[in-house]
Structure 1
Amino acid sequence: MTATAHSGGRSRATPGRHSSDLLRQILVAVGAVVAVVGAFVGSGAAGGTPIAEAAGGALSADATLLAPAGGAFAIWSIIYLGLVAYAVWQLLPAQRTDARQRFIGYPVLLTLIMNAAWILSVQAGLLVLSAVIIVLLLIALCWAYGRIISSRARGRRSVIGTLLTDGTMGLYLGWVSIATAANLTSGLQFAGFTGFGWSAEAWGVAVVGVAGAVGVLVALWSRGSISPTLSLAWGLAWVAVSRLTGTLESTPVAVTAIAAAAVVVVVTVTARVAAVRAARSA
């Protein structure tokens, strides 16, 4: 269905404008509201139990060697603010038929709904289910961010649009990567996983190393996108803080986390510089 404008008895079609575009915009906005309400409940502000205390404290700073210190979770406020701003921005008429928003809208919506589902599962004390959901959330974020990267040549790109789309979703992806490692570790521990004979510290070092490797791959894949690295390095730094100052200390895990964060930052900057130079010489 196309929109039609009438002027002087003649009609002029507006190509590509469909009712499904408006539906997409509304659903993304509703998804953002659902995610923010879920976060409000999960923070304990509405009388519920804060995430760190839910499920018997399984996601607290000293629950596992992969859990970041409490200060790390302040980044959620920035991410949710960005998601709300993105949801409002993509509602503007100018974004209705934008090719890029058409391409990424529903993947972003999926991450918002799954975020709320994850919070509800933790609040319900369903730790194993929450681990499954956050893994699926991470997969959905990889899909959404992959589309964001591949669609950079599509539609209209402004500074504000890039910050709200690439920036917000990049922060979201980087942080959930760390949150997934912590939540999955708690879920496996709760389920009685013994680690195939490896010590908890060995597993901690290995998983932190994998998180760093994922950050390096994202940096290379996105040609030096800054936002995923910022949140991933933030999370790794707070894992180190927790292991050095909390009751569950581990110098090897802390050192690995610091080294992983440093490597991810260096690779990101190098990839970014290379991408800028390639663009200038093209």
Structure 2
Amino acid sequence: MFRQTFRMKAILLFVATLAFVLSPLWSPSFKGYDPSMFPNPVDKPAVQPAGWAFSIWSLIYLWLVIHAAWGLFKRAEVSGWDQPRWPLFLSLALGASWLVVATSQPWLATLQIWIMWAAAVWAMARAPRTLEPALLSWPISLYAGWLTAASAVGTGVVLIGYNIGSETVVTLLMLSLVAAISLTLILWLRPPRGYALGVIWALIGVIAANWGHDVIMLPACIYALALLVLTFWQPRSPRHGYSH
């Protein structure tokens, strides 16, 4: 009975992963929110990373597909592999429609990506750290790390677009939010380093996009350095979640 349930969840996760990865093929072209959608159009909001930073999606897509395929065809009935499946399924199933929503309803897309983020963190917390980490916990942690930054960035773009705070103030608040969430999760869950690397990559993108604008660039540098130090100089045994 349990084995049949495990396999069903593995199939659902595999389908959701493919739908998520292939969603750009049937969604309108999306390169960030269209400034014309907002009362206060800003072409390149300071909170948004440089365009090249979004190339990380190629790695995330590939790694998630490998994770789902290996989990279905090789580890469908393994208990440890089953633990993160439901929350990851929820995140990716929502993600399959995110691009469509984002092109027409920024506020709804903001809510949706935060739910995706929460489900991804839930999956990361449930994924065993020591069971084939390169295939199981690392793909989920990198995805959760990038979503931590992407959720705050998307929120910042919407707030700026609707004139809810100045661009600089909103950007600093969102960067501080990213740092607070990620540092808390690293201290609490001690996730795989892929989580911090996903966040750091986004912060590097923000630094590059605001090069020379010290009031934004310097806090982003400090946050990225703090994440780097905390991630690589702390004990690696998880405090919470599943360790086996």
Q: TM-score range by the shorter chain?
A: 0.7 to 0.9
Q: Does 1:81 align with 2:62?
A: yes
What does residue 154 of structure 2 align with?
Answer: 183
CA positional deviation for 1:200: 2.8
Structure 1 SS opposite 2:30? coil
Tell me which residue corresponds to 1:38. 23
Which whole-Å CA distance do the structure 2 matches of 1:61 and 1:263 have between them?
Answer: 30
- The aligned residue for residue 190 of structure 2 is 223
Q: Which residue of 1 aligns with 2:11?
A: 26
Q: Where does 1:4-15 land on structure 2 (aligned, <5 Å)?
A: none
- Correspondence 1:122-133 to 2 at 5 A: 122-123=102-103, 125-133=104-112
Q: 1:216 to 1:61 in 2, by over 3 A?
A: farther
CA deviation after TM superposition for structure 1 residue 135, in Å? 1.1
- 2: CA distance, partners of 1:221 / 1:39: 34
CA contact (8 A) 2:53 2:205 kept: yes
Count of aligned pairs: 236
Question: Which secondary structure state, in structure 2, belongs to the residue aligned with residue 176 of structure 1?
Answer: helix
Q: Does 1:250 align with 2:235?
A: no
CA deviations on 1:50-108 (whole Å, 9 max, x unpaired) are 333657487x995322100100000000000001111110112x412211122211111
* TM norm structure 1: 0.76
Cα distance change on mapping 1:80 and 1:221 into 2, 3 Å: same
TM-score (norm 2): 0.87
* Unpaired runs of at least 5, structure 2: 238-244
Larger Cα Rg: Structure 1 or Structure 2? 1
Pairwise CA RMSD: 2.5
In structure 2, C-alpha distance between the alignment counterparts of 1:269 and 1:53, rounded to whole Å: 35
Once residues 84 and 42 of structure 2 are traced to their aligned partners in structure 1, the CA distance between those partners, rounded to angstroms, is 34
Question: For 1:99 and 1:224, how far apart are their aligned partners in 2?
Answer: 19
Distance 1:262 1:252, change over 3 A: same
Q: Does the 8 Å contact 1:131/1:183 carry over to 2?
A: yes
Matched, 1:100 2:80: yes
**AA at the equivalent of 1:51:** K
> C-alpha distance in 2, partners of 1:193/1:100?
46
Report SS of the residue matched to 1:97: coil
